[in-house]
């Protein structure tokens, strides 16, 4: 193989696509690339963020909503983003934390309770 693997998109699930669309575009400031009744696709500058409607009345789809997503938004300063997002009404689970590996993390929630992460990598 001559090409390498790259991440082109990550998916997150919501019980309310309209509320999610507002959160990701207005609270986080992500540009909206596509939107319909079931999906909203945002530009993160790297991978696309695909927010998909899920039916919380079904067990298998309800399990997709309100969980740790496992992906991080890379920022230059977690402290600055923490302050700015918090002032914009975003809920965090605590203060940013310095990490042993030299960076910092902060965890926050979307309206469905999905856990998202800010990460600041060490400066070289």
Kindly give the residue spans of alpha helices, DSSP state H, lying in the chain: 17-22, 59-62, 78-87
pTM above 0.85, yes or no: yes
CATH homologous superfamily of domain 9-55+68-120? 2,3-Dihydroxybiphenyl 1,2-Dioxygenase, domain 1 (3.10.180.10)
Mean pLDDT across the chain: 96
pLDDT higher than threshold 90 for residue 112: yes
The CA-atom distances, in angstroms, between 6 and each of 20, 48, 49, 120 are: 26, 12, 14, 20
Confidence at 123, pLDDT banded by 50, 70, 90: confident
- Please state the domain extents for the chain: 9-55+68-120
* Each residue's pLDDT tens digit, 52-91: 999 999 999 999 999 999 999 999 999 999 999 999 999 9
């Amino acid at each position: 193989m001559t090409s390498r693997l790259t991440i082109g998109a990550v998916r997150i699930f919501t019980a309310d696509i309209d509320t999610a669309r507002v959160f990701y575009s207005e609270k986080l400031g992500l540009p909206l690339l596509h939107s319909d009744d079931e999906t909203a696709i945002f530009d993160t500058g790297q991978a696309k963020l695909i927010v998909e409607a899920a039916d919380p009345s079904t067990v298998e789809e309800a399990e997709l909503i309100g969980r740790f997503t496992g992906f991080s938004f890379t920022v230059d300063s977690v402290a600055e983003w923490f302050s700015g997002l918090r002032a914009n009404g975003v809920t965090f689970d605590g203060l940013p934390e310095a990490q042993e590996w030299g960076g910092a993390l902060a965890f926050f929630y979307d309206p469905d309770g999905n856990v998202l992460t800010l990460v600041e990598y060490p400066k070289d």
